[in-house]
């Protein structure tokens, strides 16, 4: 009886490292929640502390999008290989997390930077709103908390936000 108990404990100890070593996919875009390990629940301060001061601070989301945001939205943009950015209104709460210029991040349906026009709609259905701009468009899935910007017929930006909050972020 003692031998069975000891073997059972040894077996559990041997299995424990494999279970605890499993980590969530840090490259996954989860609409309404996160991009990789960066979540909407994190504070702006926590993200800046990890990534450093952003090379770009912008009034509104990137002006080259050609898509208007509501007044008071400020973007922190870490361009380059990191390909991440966030938008805030109060320098504390993250309104939007976005990724651009990197193939690192993707949704569970395979939508990522460079995905052809229409693939987002094929994966998620009809968008809540489509904002047309000089250089492309933005499709918004407000109930999911997902937006995708298209330019030259492919996805250039994927953004996550709290479901139901799109009109507090973008003008449409």
Name 48's Cβ contacts closer than 8 Å, sequence gap at least 6. 54, 76
- 119 within domain boundaries: yes
In this prediction, residue 168 carries a pLDDT of: 93
In this prediction, residue 64 carries a pLDDT of: 56
- 9 within domain boundaries: no
- 68 within domain boundaries: yes
- 71 within domain boundaries: yes
Range of the domain at 65: 24-168
- 8 within domain boundaries: no
In this prediction, residue 66 carries a pLDDT of: 67
- 10 within domain boundaries: no
Number of structural domains the chain divides into: 1
In this prediction, residue 133 carries a pLDDT of: 84
Q: Is 101 exposed, middle or buried (0-12, 13-18, 19+ CB in 10 A)?
A: middle
In this prediction, residue 2 carries a pLDDT of: 55
Q: What is residue 59's three-state secondary structure? A: strand
- Which residue ranges in the chain fall short of pLDDT 50? 4-23
- 131 within domain boundaries: yes
The first and second tokens of residue 135, run together, are 């250089």
In this prediction, residue 47 carries a pLDDT of: 96
- 3 within domain boundaries: no
Q: What is residue 111's three-state secondary structure? A: coil
């Amino acid at each position: 009886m003692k031998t069975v108990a000891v073997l059972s404990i040894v077996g559990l100890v041997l299995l424990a490292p494999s279970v605890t070593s499993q980590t969530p996919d840090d490259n996954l875009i989860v609409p309404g929640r996160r991009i990789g390990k960066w979540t909407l629940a994190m504070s702006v301060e926590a993200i800046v502390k990890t990534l450093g001061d952003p090379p770009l601070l912008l009034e509104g989301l990137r002006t080259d999008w050609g898509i208007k945001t509501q007044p008071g939205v400020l973007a922190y943009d870490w361009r380059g290989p990191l390909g991440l950015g966030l938008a805030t209104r109060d320098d504390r709460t993250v309104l939007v997390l976005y990724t651009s210029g990197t193939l690192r991040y993707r949704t569970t349906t395979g939508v990522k930077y460079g995905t052809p026009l229409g693939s987002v709609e094929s994966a998620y259905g009809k968008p809540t709103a489509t904002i047309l701009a000089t250089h492309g468009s933005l499709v918004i899935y407000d109930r999911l908390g997902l937006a995708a910007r298209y330019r030259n017929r492919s996805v250039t930006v994927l953004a996550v936000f709290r479901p139901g909050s799109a009109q507090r972020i973008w003008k449409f």
